[in-house]
Each structure stands twice: as structure tokens, then as C-alpha cells.
């Protein structure tokens, strides 16, 4: 599943979403200000080599309604701005 990164054009918030199909993008809103004005940005890759640190790998999720029923987004641990 592709993870897309977006930037809100009103409040400059960056957010990431897993989109199952292109139609879901038309219904997106900024999680901070609820604006529907955003742009997709190119994400930088983040990876490590060698032994892992054994840090917290739990995911949190948020479910919302969309045209295909319900859509779930996940907060994935990684790079922090």
C-alpha cells in the first residue's frame, strides 16, 4: 500500500496517509485545520542498516468515513520534523 505525504496550503501542516485508490484523495482534509487545500510532496526515504534498536514499533490508527465506506489511516513511527 502506498503511503503519500501531503502539505496543507493553509496551515503548512505535513501529514501522511495510506490511500487504497485515487478516489480517496479527493475527500481528504487536513487533520489540523480541516482544509481541503493541500499538495502532495515527495517523501524522503528513511531506512537503517544493521541491528535494530528494539524501540517502540506500535502503530496508532484513525478511522474515518469516505466514499468507499470507511478508511483507516496509520501513524507510522519514523522521521520527525
DSSP track, 13-41: -EEEEE-SSGGGGGG---TTT--S-EEEE
Three cell numbers, residue 41? 510532496
DSSP-based three-state secondary structure for 17:
strand
Q: How confident is the model over 37-41, as a mean pLDDT? A: 88
Q: What pLDDT, on a 0 to 100 scale, did the predictor assign at position 2?
A: 75
Query: By C-alpha distance, which of 17, 21, 22, 20 is closest to 5?
Result: 17
- Given a cut of 70, whether residue 50 has pLDDT beyond it is no
- Angle (CA) 75-23-71 rounded to 5° is 35
Q: What pLDDT, on a 0 to 100 scale, did the predictor assign at position 9?
A: 94
The rounded distance, in Å, linking the Cα atoms of 76 and 61 is 9
pLDDT band at 40 (very low <50, low <70, confident <90, very high): confident
- Given a cut of 90, whether residue 10 has pLDDT beyond it is yes
**Top-confidence residue, 27 or 72:** 27
pTM of the predicted protein model: 0.50
The rounded distance, in Å, linking the Cα atoms of 31 and 8 is 9
Amino acid at each position: 500500500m502506498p503511503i503519500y505525504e501531503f502539505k496543507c496550503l493553509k496551515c503548512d501542516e505535513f501529514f501522511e496517509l495510506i490511500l487504497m485508490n485515487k478516489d480517496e484523495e479527493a475527500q481528504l482534509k487536513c487533520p489540523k485545520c480541516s482544509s481541503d487545500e493541500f499538495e502532495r510532496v515527495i517523501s524522503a526515504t528513511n531506512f537503517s542498516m544493521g541491528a535494530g534498536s528494539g524501540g517502540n514499533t506500535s502503530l496508532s490508527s484513525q478511522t474515518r468515513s469516505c466514499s468507499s465506506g470507511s478508511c483507516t489511516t496509520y501513524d507510522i513511527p519514523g522521521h520527525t520534523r
